[in-house]
Amino acid sequence: MTMPVLNKKKSKGLYIVIFGCGRLGSGIANWLSSKGNSVVVVDRREEAFSSLSFEFTGFTIIGDATELDTLETAKVEKADVVLALTPDDNTNIMTALISKEYFEVPRVIARVYDPNNIDMFSEFGVEIICPTLLAVKEIQNTLGFIGGDEG
């Protein structure tokens, strides 16, 4: 679940659209823009953009991720990477699937809390980050390190 591709092209920054400017979205937006990428952040609420740092070099668009119009305004069809990071699972899934299937974006990553649907949406070529599973793995690792007697 790391993102090595994002730093791969040295000569030219990528065009990245991020849906959801919460803690994760704004943090990633700040980091990606500092790496020389052209970043567009989309959120329904204008106040959300206040969490972008002063150093953020990019664009902000107020809009609903479930409206095709918003995706068009953000020029998703030209994006190298789309990140769907709103607080709502289904919104992220829909935005990610449309970006992948309809706009044919090369890399699409969605955050989904419910681990149930991961297989199904991975079939579309969307990469899923599941905080629930990550936490489970992390705890397993930690426990394994401490106790180590699984069998």
Partner 1 sequence: MAKIYVIDDESSIRRLIKMIMEEQKHEVTTFATAEEGLKVIEKEPPDLLFTDLGLPEMNGLELIKIVEERLYSFPIVVVSEITIAEAIIEAFKHGICDFITKPFTPTEIIESFEKCYMSTDTLLKKKKEVISFVEAGKNLQASKLVSRLFANFPNSPVPHYLFALLAFSWNKELAKRHLKAALALDPDYKEARELLIKIDSGDEN
Partner 2 sequence: MKVFLIGGRNIAYHLARRLLNKGYQVVLVNKDEKLNEGLAKRLKKAIIITGDGSKRHVLEQLEITSKDLFVALTPNDQDNLVASLIAKRVFGIENPLALINDPDNEAAFKKLGIGTTVSPTNILAQAIEERIFKEQITNLIPSFEQIAVFQIEMEEQSPAVGKRVMELAIPRESVIGAIIRAGEAIIPRGDTIIKSGDKLIVLSKPTVQSSVFESLLGEV
Contact with partner 1 (CB under 8 A): which of 23, 45, 78, 137?
Answer: 78
Backbone φ and ψ of 100, nearest 5°: -75, -55
For residue 129, the one-letter residue type is: I
Contact with partner 1 (CB under 8 A): which of 6, 21, 65, 74?
Answer: 74
Contact with partner 1 (CB under 8 A): which of 31, 44, 75, 118?
Answer: 75
Q: Which is nearer to partner 2, 68 or 143 (CB)?
A: 68
* 3-state secondary structure (DSSP) of residue 9: coil
DSSP letter (8 states) at residue 110: E
Residues numbered 76 to 95 that lie near partner 2 (CB under 8 A) are 88-91, 93-95
Q: Residue 127 interacts with partner 2 (CB under 8 A)?
A: no
Q: How far apart are alpha carbons 53 and 29 in whole angstroms?
A: 9
Report residue 75 as tokens.
């020029």
In whole angstroms, what separates CA 68 from the centre of its chain?
A: 18
Shortest distance, CB of residue 67 to partner 1, whole angstroms?
A: 17
Contact with partner 1 (CB under 8 A): which of 5, 23, 36, 67?
Answer: 36
For residue 140, the one-letter residue type is: Q
Do 17 and 79 form a contact (C-beta atoms < 8 A)?
yes
Q: Which is nearer to partner 1, 13 or 27 (CB)?
A: 13
Which residues contribute to the site for partner 2 (CB under 8 A)? 66-69, 88-91, 93-95, 97-98, 101-102, 114, 116-117, 120, 123-124
